[in-house]
Amino acid sequence: MTSEISHQPPVAAIATPIGEGGIAVIRASGRGVIEKVQNCFRGKDLTKVESHTVHFGKIVHKDGRVVDEVLVTVLRSPKSYTGEDTVEVSCHGGVLVTQSVLETILDQGIRAAKPGEFTQRAFLNGKLDLEQAEAVADLIHAKSIKAVDAAHQQLEGRLGEHINKFRQQIIDATAMVELELDFIEEDVEFANKEQLRKLLTDLDREIGTLLDTYETGRLVRDGVKTVFIGRPNAGKSTLLNTLIGTERAIVTDIAGTTRDTIDADWSYDGLLFKLIDTAGLRETKDIIEAEGVRRSQKAFEQADLIVYLKDLSQPLHTSEREEIAGFQKRAGETPFLLVGTKLDLAAGRDDKDERIHFDLKISAIKEENIDTLKKLMKQRALENKDYDTSSLLVTSSRHRDALQKAREHIRRAVEALDSGMTGDFLSIDLRSSLRQLGEITGEITNEDVLDSIFSRFCIGK
């Protein structure tokens, strides 16, 4: 990342979703972009207007044909998203007209932008740290209010503030150690060992506190992978349809109707749940259904929340009781809910001797206790997790990995200090920790990492 604007050759792309709409926006940025867009614009001379001004005119094809009436916004360097000269053309929405305006602009010697190229230029020009650039992608892809909140925190630079604080502490510690190395022959001691140890152990604790937010951050960003399992005809598909409010899964009285996993996104109280309806668990000779059962087992292993559904209108046999106990044991630390279904059909049944505890009994058809189930699902999903989303959350596995590695190097430095090793050994681990933190903000990175990050973006951003 640099503080100097690079002024690369101009690129352009449609910045709004493709399709019919009131308006569409084409963004163009780079060296000489204002002059190039002026070549196909009929209206004010864009090369002479002030920055951050909007001008009405027409985009004209090279044969003189009017492509569309537009509003052109001129943003001069460095006060633009990319830091470069930027032009944003607002035209009438619609696939054909928008594409025609873009093609006319590209005909002026402007290259089509790659996915994420505008944000990548913003990063390279020092307008954003790398973790802020990633937050832009998270904001675009967010599917819940909490995910939007978490992305905004990162975009505002709150993670960067923490990382820069950690880096400065390590720089201070490294300076203490390396200054002493410079005067080793004079036997001068600049680093107070206890002071240095406290600095490093405090840093270890602070990084650990930030790392502890990752599991919550991951759920906020990616959603709670919630798997409905149970025997055939237990009401899994009915419950999924009830929660999302539409007929996403086929529901019949025939056992084995669901033969594959069915996914649906459902947002509740600001948190995204990725619901997965699975094939009913049973022995079957049907090849397709057997594959569905195998996928059900795989979904179980990857779940963040497991909801086992038991049909209350049917007796609980020993085999199913053992099956439930087996799933509860396999779930380990993954939250597990045992929910009785078809409560409306179970009237009068005596289940006192069934020796099983249901977390809740519901009727999806009658929507009985469904609101309670929603609250319980959120409560269990976030059990033992810090869900104060006003606090900073680590949401990216890349950031988590870098923080873990930085923390490990700090711990090695403490071990070296305690064992009486010379400062050069401490310095190696301190500098390695510094590099790991630098990879989060982009102070230190490589092209492969950048390509991977910016490939997540849509074209036009």
**Is position 347 annotated in a ligand binding site?**
no
Residue 257 labelled as part of a binding site: yes
Annotated ligand binding at 43? The verdict is no
Annotated ligand binding at 234? The verdict is yes
Residue 438 in marked binding region: no
Q: Does 252 count as an annotated binding residue?
A: yes
218 is in an annotated binding site: no
For residue 278, say whether it is annotated as part of any ligand binding site: yes
Q: Is 170 annotated as a binding residue?
A: no
Q: Is 290 annotated as a binding residue?
A: no
Q: Is 16 part of any known ligand binding site? A: no
CA distances from 348 to 312, 340, 351, 354, 379 (A): 11, 15, 9, 14, 31
Strand ranges of the sheet holding 66-75, from the earlier edge strand across to the other edge: 41-43, 53-60, 66-75, 86-92, 23-29, 11-14, 111-112
Q: What number of CA atoms fall less than 13 Å from residue 457's CA on the CB side?
A: 25
- Confirm whether residue 241 is marked as ligand binding: no
Do the annotations mark residue 187 as ligand-binding? no
363 annotated as ligand-binding: no
112 is in an annotated binding site: no
Residue 238 annotated as part of some ligand binding site = yes
44 is in an annotated binding site: no
Cα gap 285→233, rounded to integer Å: 18
- Cβ neighbours, 10 Å, residue 202: 11
Q: Does 255 count as an annotated binding residue?
A: yes
Identify whether 78 is preceded by a cis peptide bond (ω within 30 of 0). Answer: yes
* 280 marked ligand binding residue: yes
d(CA 322, CA 379) in angstroms, rounded, equals 26
Give the closest residue to 18 by CA, choosing from 100, 90, 93: 93
Say how far apart CA 281 and CA 298 lie, in whole Å: 12
Angle at 124 between CA 120 and CA 125, to 5 degrees: 115
Tokens representing residue 246 in the block: 């539409």
Task: Check whether 236 is labelled as a binding-site residue.
Answer: yes
| 381 assigned to a ligand binding site | no
Q: Which residues are annotated as a binding site for GTP?
A: 233-238, 252-258, 277-280
Q: Which residues are annotated as a binding site for K(+)?
A: 233, 252, 254, 257
Q: Which residues are annotated as a binding site?
A: 27, 88, 127, 233-238, 252-258, 277-280, 461
Q: Which residues are annotated as a binding site for (6S)-5-formyl-5,6,7,8-tetrahydrofolate?
A: 27, 88, 127, 461
Q: Which residues are annotated as a binding site for Mg(2+)?
A: 237, 258
